[in-house]
Chains A and B, each alone.
Chain A
Amino acid sequence: MKIAIASGKGGTGKTTLSTNLASYLSENNKVVLCDLDVEEPNSALFLKTEIIHQEKKYKGIPEWNKNTCTLCGNCQEVCNYHAVIQLGDTIMVFPELCHSCYACSDLCPTNSLPMINNETGTLTHFKTNTFDFVESRLKIGEEQAVPLIKQTLKYIDNNFSDEFHKIYDSPPGTSCPVIESTKNADFVILITEPTPFGFNDVKIAIETMKALNKNFGIVINRYGVGNDDVINYCKKNNIPVLAKIPNKKEIAELYSKGELLWNKIPEVKTELENIKNFIFSNIKN
Chain B
Amino acid sequence: MKEIVVISGKGGTGKTSITASFAVLAGKSAVIADCDVDAADMHILLDPNNLKTEDFFSGELAIIDENICTQCGKCFDVCRFDAVEIIENKHTINKISCEGCGYCARVCPVNAITNIPLNVGKWFIANTRHQQPLVHAKLGIGSDNSGKLVAHVKNMAKEIADQYNRPYVIVDGSPGVGCPVVSSLSGANYVVLVTEPTVSGLHDLKRVYELVKKFHIKAGCIINKFDLNSQKTTEIIEFLENESIEHLGNLPYNEAFTKAMTECKTIVEFDSGEITNIITKVWEKVKTTLT
Residues of A near any B CB (own CB < 8 A): 8-12, 15, 39-40, 42, 45-46, 78, 80-81, 99-103, 106-107, 138, 140-145, 171-179, 183, 195-197, 200-201, 204, 207-208, 211-212, 222, 225-227, 249, 252-253, 255-258
* Supplied contacts A42-B200, A197-B39, A249-B228, 7 more A-B pairs, CB within 8 Å: A42-B10, A103-B78, A144-B178, A195-B258, A204-B141, A256-B229, A257-B232
Q: Which of B16, B106, B207, B232 contacts A197 (CB 8 A)?
A: B16
B200 and A80 contact, CB distance less than 8 A: no
Closest 4 interchain pairs by CB?
A11-B12, A10-B11, A11-B11, A173-B38
Which chain B positions have C-beta within 8 A of A39?
175-178
Q: SS class of chain A's interface: helix, strand, loop or mixed?
A: loop
A80 and B176 contact, CB distance less than 8 A: no
| B96 close to A (CB within 8 Å) | yes
Which chain B positions have C-beta within 8 A of A10?
10-12, 39, 175-176
**Interface flags, B28-68, vs A, CB<8A=1, else 0:** 00000000001101001000000000000001100000000
What's the interface size class on B, roughly? 35 or more
> CB within 8 Å of A: which of B154-184?
175-179, 182
> Of B129-137, B143-151, B238-246, B279-287, which binds chain A?
B143-151
B258 and A225 contact, CB distance less than 8 A: yes
**A-B pairs with beta carbons under 8 A, tally:** 176
> CB within 8 Å of A: which of B211-250?
211, 214, 225, 228-229, 232
Query: Shortest CB–CB separation between residue B165 and chain A, in angstroms?
Result: 32
B142 and A101 contact, CB distance less than 8 A: no
Which chain B positions have C-beta within 8 A of A99?
99, 101
Candidate in A11, A46, A81, A225 with the most chain B CB atoms within 10 angstroms: A11
Query: Shortest CB–CB separation between residue A128 and chain B, in angstroms?
Result: 16
B100 and A258 contact, CB distance less than 8 A: no
Query: Given A99-B101, A253-B229, is A11 in contact with B10 using a C-beta cutoff of 8 Å?
Result: yes
Which chain A positions have C-beta within 8 A of B144?
175-176
B199 and A46 contact, CB distance less than 8 A: yes
Q: Which of B80, B106, B179 contacts A143 (CB 8 A)?
A: B179
Query: Shortest CB–CB separation between residue B213 and chain A, in angstroms?
Result: 9
How far does the alpha carbon of A204 sit from the alpha carbon of B121 in the complex, in Å? 13
Query: Shortest CB–CB separation between residue A208 and chain B, in angstroms?
Result: 5
How far does the alpha carbon of A121 sit from the alpha carbon of B122 in the complex, in Å? 32
A45 and B203 contact, CB distance less than 8 A: yes
**Interface flags, B247-291, vs A, CB<8A=1, else 0:** 000000101001001101000000000000000000000000000
How far does the alpha carbon of A257 sit from the alpha carbon of B229 in the complex, in Å? 8
Query: Given A11-B13, A102-B78, A102-B80, is A40 in contact with B101 using a C-beta cutoff of 8 Å?
Result: no
